[in-house]
A = this chain, B = another copy of it.
Amino acid sequence: MGNMLGIQLDKAGEMPLRRQIYQAMRDRMLSGLLKAGEPLPSTRELSADLQVARSTVCEAYEMLIAEGFAVSSQGAPTRVAEGLSLETVPGCPARRTTESRQSCKADFRTGSPDLRHFPRYLWQQTLNRALDEIKVEKYGYTGAQGLPELRYEIAAWLFRSRGLIVDAEDIFITQGATHALHLAADLICRDRPKILMEDPCHTGMLRTLMNKECKVVPVPVDEHGIRTEMPDADAGAVYVTPSHQFPLGGILPASRRAALIRYARDHDAYLIEDDYDSEFRYCGEPVTPLHALDPRRVIYVGTFSKSVYPALRIGYVILPQTLHKQWIRLRTHTDVQNPVIEQAALAVFLRTRKLDRHIKKMRRIYGERRRALLAELERTFGGGWRAYGDDAGLHLAVEFPNLCFDDAFRKSAAERGILITPVEYHCIDKGRHRDKLLIGYGHLDPDEIRSGIGLLYEHVRDYFRQEKKGL
């Protein structure tokens, strides 16, 4: 009799035969090949035709009936249901191929810790220890605020590393700093959409706020950090990076810190303090956060992306009590909570002081790299540059008076395999920092830094020589 419906079965395939039959029939009903009310072949006929067990066809028919593609009534043959016909779906356009990239010879991008020094076996041990300790209930919904043991350990660590006295009840775990800002903006900007923001600032953070339809009002930054002659705007919050301004690198002086607190009090506003990398300061200890000056006015944002690793996705906020309930409600309906395993492991990592040791080691390594970078800039560029900001972090802002770094420069560098960002890229009001480049060095060893700066020097020389010719 031949294959009565043109069904081709893949008998060696991974999909069960009953499902292959079901799908073939379903497709024929949707396309109109099998029409409403039309009787289906009997299970006996079709099983003989397809050379499969009759029970397999019965199962396929049961699926069709259960999902309403077919109807059966006692004694009568199974028929195609009404109302199924759809025009067939047009084919999808061909996939775009991924672009080929120029191989990277010098990667000065910012925000990358050195993963080669991450103690992954120690971390694996820590994870296993956490998995041994964790109660099975913790695999269920464990709350939007985050695991209590992790919040407790973060509070203890903030005390011993920064002298910050925080109650674990005021700490809320997030999926990193971006996520924290996303949620904070939702809380604050709904009623008061204006937000004051350091300019320049991290362009990713800026976009997070713009996505929330916040109205961003820029406030200029100098080499010490945000300037506190605040513009006249009814802002619900001020976004600042006082411990290490991104990208210019200043550590905000105490008088400006006090001015920020006064501003927040006078204008009933919050200060969003993004403390993204203050663990890595090379002279002295981490700076005491703004939070210590007035916990009622500061939303402190911390992250373990730099000190542990980026794909950990754990950060936290310290919230004023006025925001606790709203935060929990918002988080519950945004992404519910953080995964449990990393939270439990990080708590063990903190409890056993392994994070303290790792940070101490990395501070030494990053400090060496910074010195290697400064020495190499001195050696190649001579006196025509100046390091901006303070002695901290995983990147350096460098000023080259009289030069102008724009997007054309960035692109031409990328074409030569040098990935580097002009400060201008992170500016809201353009034009004030054209003479500065950002050099991310945390993820580069001293040899990579030296060869990279050599390439950068050659490119800067060639690019600006060519530019002068063009004039």
Contacts and interface: CB of A to CB of B under 8 A. Distances in A.
A342 B112 CA distance: 22
Given A86-B294, A131-B124, A136-B115, A311 B255 contact: no
Contacts of A178: 333-336
Given A59-B284, A84-B258, A128-B124, A339 B321 contact: no
A421 to B, nearest CB: 15
Interface string A36-58: 00000000000000000000000
A120 interface: yes
Nearest to A117: B136
A342 B182 CA distance: 23
A72 interface: no
Nearest to A147: B311
Nearest to A64: B254
Which of A14, A66, A311 counts the most B-chain CB atoms under 10 A from its CB?
A311
A67 B253 contact: yes
A14 B156 CA distance: 9
Contacts of A294: 86, 89
Nearest to A113: B140
A211 interface: yes
Contacts of A208: 333-334
Interface string A54-89: 000001001100111100000000000111111001
A330 B390 CA distance: 33
A182 B335 contact: yes
Contacts of A337: 311, 313
Given A14-B160, A208-B334, A258-B83, A310 B251 contact: no
A217 interface: no
A159 B13 CA distance: 11
B321 A335 contact: no
Interface residues of A, number: 101
Given A67-B287, A333-B207, A341 B342 contact: yes
Contacts of A160: 14-15
Contact of A255 (B82, B182, B314, B338): B82
Nearest to A62: B284
A131 B331 CA distance: 29
Interface stretch (A19-27, A369-377, A395-403, A406-414): A19-27
B342 A339 contact: yes
Nearest to A124: B131
Nearest to A92: B321
Given A284-B59, A311-B340, A67 B14 contact: no
Complex A-B, nearest 4 residue pairs according to Cβ-Cβ distance, in ascending order:
A68-B253, A83-B255, A311-B340, A179-B335
Given A178-B336, A211-B330, 20 more contacts: A29-B254, A66-B251, A67-B253, A68-B256, A83-B256, A86-B294, A89-B294, A112-B141, A115-B139, A124-B128, A127-B131, A140-B311, A175-B335, A175-B336, A178-B333, A178-B334, A204-B332, A311-B341, A314-B339, A335-B335
19 contacts: A22-B163, A23-B163, A66-B283, A81-B253, A86-B262, A92-B295, A118-B136, A124-B128, A124-B131, A127-B127, A141-B310, A141-B311, A182-B334, A182-B335, A204-B333, A311-B341, A313-B339, A314-B339, A341-B341
